[in-house]
A and B are shown apart, each in its own frame.
Chain A
Amino acid sequence: MADNIINVSKVWKEYGDAVVLERLNLGVKEGEFCTIVGASGCGKTTFLRMLLGEEIPSRGNILLEDSSLPEEPTHDRGIVFQRYSVFPHLTVLQNVILGLEFAQSKFTGFLFGKAKRIAVNEAKEMIAAVGLSDARNKLPSALSGGMQQRLAIAQSLIKKPKILLLDEPFGALDPGIRADMHELILSLWNQTGTTVFMVTHDLKEGFSLGTRLLVFDKVRHDPQSPDRYGASITYDIPLGMTDEKILNKIKSTTVTDQREEL
């Protein structure tokens, strides 16, 4: 228990009568890279939102380093969404500096003079780390989808979050670019040692990235009332020990689930 960075115990999430998640238990150690997969509507994004503090568990609790999770987003947890993660009115550099400016300049939200120079240098390093140095002064609208996601990652990592949450970050990208992004996220994870949770609907991606795979699925079904039971973690597999057989097995179960939902 004690060396876990995240402890989820007996968490339920309900919206009115609809149960989304039930009896969720999970312990994650610092530095783990968890990928979360599951059929659509199985609550994997809801789970990520609870880690983020955007949603609050209906029952049970989530501990971050042995203290309960703040009930709103904070700088402990960085986030990259599939879209809209970067600010369209700021250049790449301004987008990355923003996190430093918020922390250091409570009233104006802008830094000046020496503090600004230090922040700019730090931001430039971060931008170089995600490979956007050439685009430093461009607006997000001038960047491709992959570059925007690189920017969103740099923007989060400059706050040195304890946990980095990725919500289908590469879902809208071309396969080739997606492979580049996988390489990037793995190398950044190696350098920073931060704990990563990544939601994806691409099972292959879930298998190839990370150290641990979590599959969300419904254990119990009521065909008359699909919302009666929520999803839970059905597979919790340390990666590197997986093979095709397990992949196919998970594939077959999630596919049947989707058919039943239809």
Chain B
Amino acid sequence: MKRLVNIQPGKGWRSIMGLLPFILVLITYLFASNARLAVNPNDKLLPSFGSFGEAIERIAIKEDRRTGKVLLWSDTKASLQRLGMGIGISALIGLLFGILNGLIPVIRANLSPFISVLSMIPPLAILPILFIVFGLGELSKVVLIVFGIAPFVMRELQQRVQEIPKEQLIKAQTLDASTWQIMIRIILPQILPRLIDALRLSLGAAWLFLIAAEAIAATDGLGYRIFLVRRYLAMDVILPYVAWITFLAFLMDYGLRALSRFAFPWFEKETSGS
């Protein structure tokens, strides 16, 4: 008998074993839901799959009677806009300060402690300040996401820049490179795939801050909707929304990984080789 650490599941087994937890959760839900509905057909806590279908039809296909929009899509559009802007701005800030901090000692001495302290402030604690300063509109939500993830991206990229072997920087100098040239031809191209990694890691936090901001003050958005229908115990809407958000998050992560593989083939080889 081999040791447990040496037993490798075959390919078919692996996919079955991977699916198993999902199936188990689904079956458990079905049983629990049936049991509750048998006692009280109007129970709202664990709706049947039939009522999920109706709810999805109501929110994803038919237009809302009051606003004339299909709720799921208008919510998704609003949320993704906020998320996209937040992540995009964080990426730019992170890239700029990550490279400057990582590469230039004078700037690092100046900014690094400040950014470290900044990243310790719990972003939700300053949400009231953001609402007061930037109002209840789109801006405060985007700023919350930026405040939540930009410090992490900055620090992460600074680390990655400092991890680039010193030999490379010296070599570049013996090839006549100025600081600016080192930055754009040596550091930037090598740090872009690491930026994608950092963004993938901060996606979860970005969603958290988005939903928190929407839950508190918004008129549309995925987070706004689930907190709105919570008042009616509308689990038949909340659960599909949660599944949809999870799916979107998964897609973003997958997309970023695919982008990294496609745009930086050298990076995959480099990291898997060593």
Where the two chains meet, the residues of A that have a C-beta atom closer than 8 Å to any C-beta of B are 52, 54, 72-75, 77-79, 81, 83-89, 98-99, 101-103, 106-110, 139, 141-142, 152, 155-156, 159, 161
Asked whether B167 lies within 8 Å of A84 as measured between CB atoms, the reply is yes
Complex Cα distance, B170 from A73, in Å, reads: 7
Asked whether B184 lies within 8 Å of A83 as measured between CB atoms, the reply is no
- Interface 9-residue window, one of B43-51, B224-232, B263-271: B263-271
Interface hits, B165-200 → A, CB 8 Å? 165, 167-168, 170-178, 180-181, 184-186, 189-190
Chain A proximity of B268: nearest CB distance (Å): 9
Asked whether B181 lies within 8 Å of A109 as measured between CB atoms, the reply is yes
- What residue in chain A is nearest B169 (Cβ atoms)? A73
Chain B proximity of A198: nearest CB distance (Å): 16
Where the two chains meet, the residues of B that have a C-beta atom closer than 8 Å to any C-beta of A are 165, 167-168, 170-178, 180-181, 184-186, 189-190, 264-267, 269-270, 273
Asked whether A75 lies within 8 Å of B266 as measured between CB atoms, the reply is no
Selected contact of B176 from candidates A52, A102, A107, CB within 8 Å: A102
Complex Cα distance, B177 from A155, in Å, reads: 13
**Residues in A whose Cβ lies below 8 Å from that of B170:** 52, 54, 73, 79, 81
Complex Cα distance, B172 from A72, in Å, reads: 12
Chain A proximity of B133: nearest CB distance (Å): 38
**Residues in A whose Cβ lies below 8 Å from that of B178:** 102, 106
Complex Cα distance, B173 from A79, in Å, reads: 10
**Residues in B whose Cβ lies below 8 Å from that of A77:** 174
In addition to A103-B176, A108-B184, 16 A-B residue pairs with Cβ atoms within 8 Å of each other are A54-B170, A73-B174, A75-B174, A79-B170, A83-B167, A85-B168, A89-B266, A99-B176, A102-B175, A102-B181, A106-B180, A106-B181, A109-B181, A110-B185, A141-B270, A142-B269
Asked whether A89 lies within 8 Å of B190 as measured between CB atoms, the reply is yes
Asked whether A84 lies within 8 Å of B168 as measured between CB atoms, the reply is yes
Question: Top 6 closest A-B pairs, CB basis?
Answer: A84-B165, A73-B173, A84-B167, A99-B175, A141-B269, A109-B185
Asked whether B269 lies within 8 Å of A98 as measured between CB atoms, the reply is no
Asked whether B181 lies within 8 Å of A155 as measured between CB atoms, the reply is no
Complex Cα distance, B270 from A251, in Å, reads: 39
7 A-B residue pairings within 8 Å (CB atoms) = A73-B174, A88-B190, A89-B190, A102-B172, A106-B181, A139-B265, A141-B270
Complex Cα distance, B168 from A85, in Å, reads: 6
**Residues in B whose Cβ lies below 8 Å from that of A79:** 170-171, 174
Asked whether A89 lies within 8 Å of B184 as measured between CB atoms, the reply is no
Chain A proximity of B111: nearest CB distance (Å): 23
Asked whether B189 lies within 8 Å of A161 as measured between CB atoms, the reply is no
Complex Cα distance, B257 from A127, in Å, reads: 34
Complex Cα distance, B174 from A52, in Å, reads: 9
**Residues in B whose Cβ lies below 8 Å from that of A159:** 174-176
**Residues in A whose Cβ lies below 8 Å from that of B174:** 52, 73-75, 77-79, 156, 159, 161
Complex Cα distance, B178 from A161, in Å, reads: 17
Asked whether B173 lies within 8 Å of A72 as measured between CB atoms, the reply is yes
- What residue in chain B is nearest A156 (Cβ atoms)? B174
Chain A proximity of B164: nearest CB distance (Å): 9
Selected contact of A139 from candidates B168, B190, B266, CB within 8 Å: B266
Asked whether B185 lies within 8 Å of A75 as measured between CB atoms, the reply is no
Chain B proximity of A56: nearest CB distance (Å): 14
- What residue in chain B is nearest A158 (Cβ atoms)? B175
**Residues in B whose Cβ lies below 8 Å from that of A107:** 180
Complex Cα distance, B172 from A134, in Å, reads: 25
